[in-house]
Amino acid sequence: MCLAIPGKLIELTTENGLKMGIIDVNGSKTRACLEYVPDIKAGQYTIVHAGFALKIIDEEEAAESLKLWQELIESGAFQPEEDSPFPEIV
């Protein structure tokens, strides 16, 4: 139901008494309200929904779970399928 896209806070501002910021999403920059992430610092990643930063992304947790998955792949607990997922079309 809710599109919320990760982006990096690059600038903090104030507008009409509200804590606002510029979020970089892959080179596109959008304005977001930061009132709900009062501890956020420039350089941190957050998810943006309807012009609001809703949560600071827990970078450690993300790295940890990706590492676990990577280990799952490397452990060879199961055989990956032999073919590439799609045939070359060219």
Contact set with other proteins (CB under 8 A): 1-8, 16-18, 22, 24-33, 35-38, 45, 47-52, 54-55, 57-59, 61-62, 64-66, 69-70, 72-73, 77-81, 85-86, 89-90
Q: Find residue 53's DSSP bridge partners.
A: 48
**Are the CB atoms for 56 and 39 separated by under 8 Å?**
yes
Smallest distance from other proteins to CB 20, Å: 9
State both tokens at 82.
């032999």
SS3 76: coil
Q: In the complex with other proteins, which residue's Cβ is closer, 41 or 77? A: 77
Q: What is the CA radius of gyration of the chain?
A: 19
Q: In the complex with other proteins, which residue's Cβ is closer, 17 or 41? A: 17
The length of the chain is 90
Dist. CA 29–CA 5, nearest whole Å: 12
Smallest distance from other proteins to CB 34, Å: 10
Smallest distance from other proteins to CB 48, Å: 7
